Amino acid sequence: MALRSAHELAGQLAKGAVTSEELVRRSLAHIKATEPRLNAFVTVMEEQALAAARESDKRRAAGQTLSPLDGIPVAIKDNMNTEGVRTTCSSRMLEQFVPPFSSTAVRKLQDAGLVVVGKTNLDEFAMGSSTENSAFGRSANPWDTDRVPGGSSGGSAVAVAGGQVPLALGSDTGGSIRQPASLCGIVGLKPTYGRVSRYGLVAFASSLDQIGPMTVDVEDAALLLGTVAGHDPLDSTSADVPVPDYAASLRSFDWKGRRVARPKEFFTGEGLDPEVARCADAFLEKLASLGAEIVDVSMPHLKYSISTFYIVATAEASSNLARYDGAQYGFRAAGTKNIIEMFSRTRAQGFGPEIKRRVMMGTHVLSAGYYDAYYNKAQKVRTLIKRDYDRALEKADLVAAPTSPFPAFLAGSRMDDPLAMYLCDVFTISLNLAGYCGLSLPSGFTEGGLPIGMQLMAGAFEEEKLLGAAWQLEQALGVAGSRAPEIAGASA
């Protein structure tokens, strides 16, 4: 299937030019043709998808479509529960786990008539930035299969960038939607904390996790966010804030007279690749040419983002992952003599090395002797980081930054150096600590033809403004929707 946006496909469905069953068959055929190279999926749901597509076609014939996206194929990151379909988190621990219920986000997609075609690969339990930490092998970047797609929602990014599906859901705890979107040349949106229900999303760091759209263009991100957003009584942290018609208001945003903050901490530094830096300058120039005013600001606490995140997130992860002990969920080590041995062997065999590192760090920062020095202090720094955003957003409507300090890197090049991997998120992680929303927009290419994404960020529940701003810019940049060349020839 060609890399076409969902809104175009929806138009064809509405005209009767194509059926949902045809779209799903094309998607499944393209998945089959490209998976040997891409490995975007952990589970492909061929039969369920075809059955759901036929239901959609029946509804359409009866004039009873459920939403503008009824009949459109979608892929789901494999850390969102899907009733009756295994949900692995790309971990041996959950390799055979079949949940008895669906996450709210998935249920909302199905209630809107979308067709789930499969579950995508990720870094185990969403910990990582390259989709190499997976019990099911690494996913490959469709622009250059020797390179990583980013992570942890790498499978979802690959599925969209590789033209396997037009839409996917990812989750973003420290950058896991935006960074792979940037490395794969697609749009990725991390909504405000509380905008999308986390019910049924397997928890990594509960105060940071958010589900969001990964799409070919901004209009699709607006449509997909509108479908999954909203209050959910099953998630006490989901916000009771009305969901605007994001797609309808895209065209009414005007950049003229808008102010964009340019935090110097995001645009300087040794780690910033020169080609990304050039793209960032061109991005700001484009904004100025649309009538925006660029405001220089400083966000002095951003330099503590990585350390703060790796205290808060590991603390929460060590608590959330305590449930995987062989007693209730998933894998249990065989032949153990007593319950302590069962717990420890189950964890030793079921978790990969990065998970063990995180659980140990998290347990350490929460332990009685170190709690004040680490966890408590990190919570205070988190507040300071949020205040940096509040100050920048007092002076400006939006904040701009590169999404990733570098384009897609070679597989294997960062796996032996955890810190080098953690630094992939240096521009994305602070937004999760603040709880606000941000979007990565395809903004240019390296000389070698790798995509580069730039980020726009806004305050709490300002997704409508964020999407409108990104849509206008997308028209001016003309980069979104570009096809990954590696995969173009394999189109079914």
* Residues annotated as part of the active site: 77, 152, 176
Among 37-45, 125-133, 228-236, 280-288, the segment contacting ligand GLN (CB under 6 A):
125-133
User: Which of 121, 129, 133 has its CA nearest to residue 180?
Assistant: 129
User: Which of 109, 200, 187 has its CA nearest to residue 153?
Assistant: 187
- Judged by CB under 6 A, the residue of 68, 128, 191, 453 near ligand GLN is 128
User: Which of 131, 155, 193 has its CA nearest to residue 34?
Assistant: 155
State the pairing for strand pair 210-215/41-44. Answer: unpaired
Count other C-beta atoms under 10 Å from residue 333's C-beta.
Answer: 16
Alpha-carbon span 162 to 35, nearest angstrom:
10
The verdict on 149 binding ligand GLN (CB under 6 A) reads no
- Judged by CB under 6 A, the residue of 104, 121, 139, 173 near ligand GLN is 173
Nearer to ligand GLN, 154 or 163 (CB): 154
Phi, psi values for residue 117, rounded to 5°: -100, -15
Nearer to ligand GLN, 128 or 200 (CB): 128
* Secondary structure tally for the chain: helices H, strands E: 17, 11
- In 203-276, DSSP assigns E strands to 210-215, 259-263
Among 127-135, 239-247, 292-300, 437-445, the segment contacting ligand GLN (CB under 6 A):
127-135
* Residue located via tokens 């970047």: 141
Q: Least separation, in Å, of the C-beta of 85 and ligand GLN?
A: 21
Nearer to ligand GLN, 23 or 429 (CB): 429
User: Which of 23, 40, 22 has its CA nearest to residue 31?
Assistant: 40
Cα 150 to chain centroid, rounded = 10
Alpha-carbon span 16 to 404, nearest angstrom:
41
Contacts of 158 (CB under 8 A, 6+ apart): 38, 39, 40, 120, 121, 131, 139, 140, 141, 142, 149, 164, 180, 184
3-state secondary structure of 214: strand
Nearer to ligand GLN, 235 or 425 (CB): 425
Among 124-132, 230-238, 461-469, 479-487, the segment contacting ligand GLN (CB under 6 A):
124-132
- Judged by CB under 6 A, the residue of 176, 182, 192, 403 near ligand GLN is 176
Q: Least separation, in Å, of the C-beta of 297 and ligand GLN?
A: 25
The verdict on 80 binding ligand GLN (CB under 6 A) reads no
The verdict on 76 binding ligand GLN (CB under 6 A) reads no
The verdict on 188 binding ligand GLN (CB under 6 A) reads no
Q: Are 123 and 129 in contact (CB under 8 A)?
A: yes
Residues of span 399-458 touching ligand GLN by CB under 6 A: 425
The verdict on 89 binding ligand GLN (CB under 6 A) reads no
Nearer to ligand GLN, 68 or 180 (CB): 180
The verdict on 359 binding ligand GLN (CB under 6 A) reads no
The verdict on 175 binding ligand GLN (CB under 6 A) reads yes
Count other C-beta atoms under 10 Å from residue 409's C-beta.
Answer: 22
Nearer to ligand GLN, 20 or 176 (CB): 176
Q: Least separation, in Å, of the C-beta of 276 and ligand GLN?
A: 18
Residues of span 305-324 touching ligand GLN by CB under 6 A: 313
The verdict on 127 binding ligand GLN (CB under 6 A) reads yes
Q: Least separation, in Å, of the C-beta of 398 and ligand GLN?
A: 21
Nearer to ligand GLN, 157 or 342 (CB): 157
Q: Least separation, in Å, of the C-beta of 133 and ligand GLN?
A: 8
Which residues does residue 260 pair with via DSSP β-bridges, in sequence order? 294, 398
Site residues for ligand GLN per CB under 6 A: 126-129, 152, 172-176, 204, 313, 425
